[in-house]
Chain A
Amino acid sequence: MQARNLNLAVGAFVLLGLLALLFMALQVSNLGARSASNTYELKAYFDNIGGLKPRAAVRSAGVVVGRVRQIQFDDQQYQALVLLDMDARYQFPKDTSAKILTSGLLGDNYVGLEPGGDTEMLKAADRIRMTQSAVVLENLISQFLYNKATEPSAPGGGSRK
């Protein structure tokens, strides 16, 4: 009888711990949101991926439609090769463009897809042709300074039409 009570108590304890783990897996972490099955792979080359990390989101119209699986360096083209796992429910036209954007002002980088108008869809292992790299702050500043330097000197003068 005492042995049975003991087994009951121990079982309850272990069950409690496993339930906590389940809670962590589903509610707290991203395991529940992920559908491991039904993905197809797309490739995209970028000149600069900025702060993009594996497992970053791939969004279109703000909705998560895939995940970044892997980021590699292609030493033939000297560009970054990003492999994307796309949700099989969503198809994108062949002329879709991929941009590396920042969520919020200081947030993480993600891949934003803007669909084109092509009637043919991207298939598994296809390559996204049009890509735009991440915004690098130094380039932005130098671009701004360059623009400022090549501006006409006086606002109203110089052109008499």
Chain B
Amino acid sequence: MAIVDSIASLGQACIRFVLGLGNFAILLAKILMRTGAIWRRPRLIGAQVHFLGNHSLAIILVAGLFVGLVLGLQGYYTLRRYGSEQALGLLVALALVRELGPVIAALLFAGRAGTSLTAEIGLMKAGEQLAALETMAVDPVARVLGPRFYGGLIVVPLLATLFSAVGILGGWLVGVVLIGVDPGAFWSQMSGGVDFWDDVVNGVIKSVVFGIAVTQIALMQGYGAQPTPEGVARATTLTVVVGSLAVLGLDFVLTALMFGEL
């Protein structure tokens, strides 16, 4: 009997997953269909860029610096074994630009900005503000969700790029300034080995995809939250968990697609 129960709950979990995927797609489609109406009010989008981006700057820059410092350190110790310390710049840059920048920035965004989005919308729902908008013949998807979606879409790639840039500077700080790797080799090996289109642009594309995923998940959780304190708390937790897993899963798919043939 217990086996049947566990199979049943597994089936339930699968059904819930597909349901969630469906909700995700439908809400995303609704927002995309109202793009014109949303962009007619750029001030709302600007306010969201400020809320999501400017307020995340501190954590992104600090985290980027630390990751760059560690990369520089660990990278140096590892490369020294093969006599390739000159390639430190290349190692740090590729690791950040291709993977760590987009992924970690998206994870930090999910934790910091994603949860704020979910909580804000969930509480608006609990306070009947979304229903009030509906009764005033204002579409809450266009007015509340839309600007936040495009705000996140703009912010995440910028944050990822900043993360990578600061990380590279951190690697330079450790490698060149502290340890003494030749700065010429550091930068020339880097610029020789990092291709703008294959590496930098692909990294940006990754962060755009992550931005869409994380922002949309945060909006979806908030919009569909139970209008109670427990419901909002659960929704914010799901935003972080589901958002993070989505980023990591998408990262694998995108890496395979983009860097597979190299």
Contact = CB atoms under 8 A, between A and B. Distances in A.
Task: Decide whether A and B are members of one complex.
Answer: yes
Interface residues of A, number: 24
Contacts of B159: 17
B189 to A, nearest CB: 11
A7 B42 CA distance: 11
Interface stretch (B117-125, B191-199, B223-231): B191-199
A13 B54 contact: yes
Interface in A1-55: 3, 6-7, 9-10, 12-14, 16-18, 20-21, 23-25, 27-33, 55
B158 A13 contact: yes
B196 A31 contact: yes
Interface string A51-65: 000010000000000
Nearest to A103: B192
Contact of B187 (A25, A27, A55): A27
Chain B binding site: helix, strand, loop or mixed by DSSP?
A: helix
Interface in B140-182: 154-155, 157-159, 161-162, 164-166, 168
B113 interface: no
Nearest to A3: B43
Interface residues of B, number: 32
Nearest to A18: B158
B47 interface: yes
Contacts of A9: 50, 54
A3 B46 CA distance: 10
B100 interface: no
**A-B pairs, 5 with minimum CB distance:** A17-B158, A20-B165, A31-B196, A29-B196, A29-B194
Nearest to B262: A53
Contacts, number: 79
B53 interface: yes
Interface of B: 43, 46-47, 49-50, 53-54, 57, 93, 97, 154-155, 157-159, 161-162, 164-166, 168, 187, 190-196, 199-200, 204
B47 A28 contact: no
A10 B46 contact: yes
Chain A binding site: helix, strand, loop or mixed by DSSP?
A: helix
Nearest to B158: A17
A24 B53 CA distance: 20
Contact of A14 (B49, B93, B164): B49
A12 B154 CA distance: 14
Contacts of A23: 165
23 contacts: A3-B43, A6-B50, A10-B50, A10-B54, A12-B54, A13-B155, A17-B157, A20-B158, A20-B161, A20-B162, A20-B164, A20-B165, A21-B161, A23-B165, A24-B161, A24-B200, A25-B196, A25-B200, A27-B187, A29-B196, A30-B191, A33-B191, A33-B192
B165 A10 contact: no
A108 to B, nearest CB: 9
Nearest to A53: B262
A12 B49 CA distance: 11
A18 B162 CA distance: 9
B236 to A, nearest CB: 24
Given A6-B46, A20-B162, A24-B200, A29 B191 contact: yes
A161 to B, nearest CB: 47
Nearest to B94: A28
A7 B204 CA distance: 24
A32 B191 contact: yes
Interface in A93-136: none
